[in-house]
Amino acid sequence: MRAIKQPRGFSVLLIVALCIPPALAITGLASDILGGTRYFGSNPIKEGEHFLGRWTLRLLVVTLAVTPLRQLTGWNWLAKHRRTIGLFAFGYLTLHWIAYAFLDVQLDWTDLKKDLLKRPYIYLGMTALVLMIPLVVTSTKAMIRRLGRNWARLHRLLYVIAILGVIHYAMAVKKDLTDPLTYALMLSLLFGWRLSRWSRKATTAARTVGSPV
Ligand code: HEM
């Protein structure tokens, strides 16, 4: 298959697009809190927090979709953007956490402890955040080289992180589960695709080993 080249300007366009949601969240929240506007409605801290949480999940799904999309289309140039999108997902998640810890509970440990008892799904979110740290630390080219095959194994953790994010979302919304279930379906399809590739590879490898020399 002929290699398909990356469209011109794609890298810049991608970075600009990825900067839009956090820029909207930061400017909107600052304007609502300091200037009394209502971009995020009557409860801007909660709404801003939700906005960032939803964008984190979207970006996690997009990160996981890069490899299947590359394999389906042959657009191999997509591979190098997976890291950028994943790092932005971590950035969104950090902002979601900042909105919660600094603006919502305002680093008040008594409030935080009460909140954790009332809303245990926050533990799931925290676990996802902690699990993302080794992925960020090992995202450099030097670490990819150093870890070899273990790098890919470690980065499968992104599926666990996304699943924790979906359960956290479902528990946070409680009633209307349409959105969390849609994300769960997308993750199942992506995971199904991966599993089918792995099993195909394993079958080919077994046939190669079993074939007469
Ligand atoms: C991968 C990790 C995470 C993802 C994907 C995620 C995503 C979300 C989503 C989609 C929502 C619901 C938004 C809505 O109702 O429309 C939410 C709510 C929430 N998240 Fe996260 N989150 C994550 C991690 C965290 C962390 C680390 C914390 C803080 C320690 C956190 C705290 C909260 C809280 C407190 C709410 C509920 C806000 C409220 O209704 O009062 N999340 N999150």
Q: Which of 68, 87, 88 is nearest to 78 (CA)?
A: 68
Residue 23 lies in a domain: no
Mean pLDDT of the 71-89 span:
96
* Angle, helix 109-118 to helix 121-137, in steps of 10 degrees: 110
* Mutate-to-test residue for ligand 1 from 47, 50, 52, 130, highest number of ligand atoms within 8 A of CB: 50
What was the pLDDT predicted at 204? 87
What was the pLDDT predicted at 206? 83
Percentage of residues of the chain with pLDDT beyond 90: 90
What was the pLDDT predicted at 1? 57
Structural domains of the chain, count: 1
What was the pLDDT predicted at 212? 61
Q: What is the pLDDT of residues 123-150, one digit of tens each?
A: 999 999 999 999 999 999 999 999 999 9
CA distance 58 to 77: 21
Instruction: Name the token pair of 81.
Output: 């953007």
Ligand 1: nearest atom to the Cα of 119: 35
CA distance 23 to 25: 5
DSSP state of 76: G
**Sign of the dihedral defined by the CA atoms of residues 36, 41, 43, 46, in that order:** negative
Residue 143 lies in a domain: yes
Quote the ligand 1 centre to 125 CA distance (angstroms): 6
Q: Which domain holds residue 77?
A: 46-199
Pocket lining: 187 vs ligand 1, CB cutoff 6 Å: no
213: pLDDT strictly greater than 60: no
CA distance 38 to 32: 6
Residue 4 lies in a domain: no
Mean pLDDT across the chain = 95
168: pLDDT strictly greater than 60: yes
DSSP string of 139-198, one letter each residue: -SHHHHHHHTHHHHHHHTHHHHHHHHHHHHHHHHH-S--HHHHHHHHHHHHHHHHHHHHH
CA distance 86 to 138: 12
Is this prediction's pTM over 0.85?
A: yes
Residue 19 lies in a domain: no
Residue 151 lies in a domain: yes
Pocket lining: 54 vs ligand 1, CB cutoff 6 Å: yes
Residue 94 lies in a domain: yes
pLDDT band at 14 (very low <50, low <70, confident <90, very high): very high
Quote the ligand 1 centre to 142 CA distance (angstroms): 32
Residue 34 lies in a domain: no
Residue 169 lies in a domain: yes
Pocket lining: 194 vs ligand 1, CB cutoff 6 Å: no
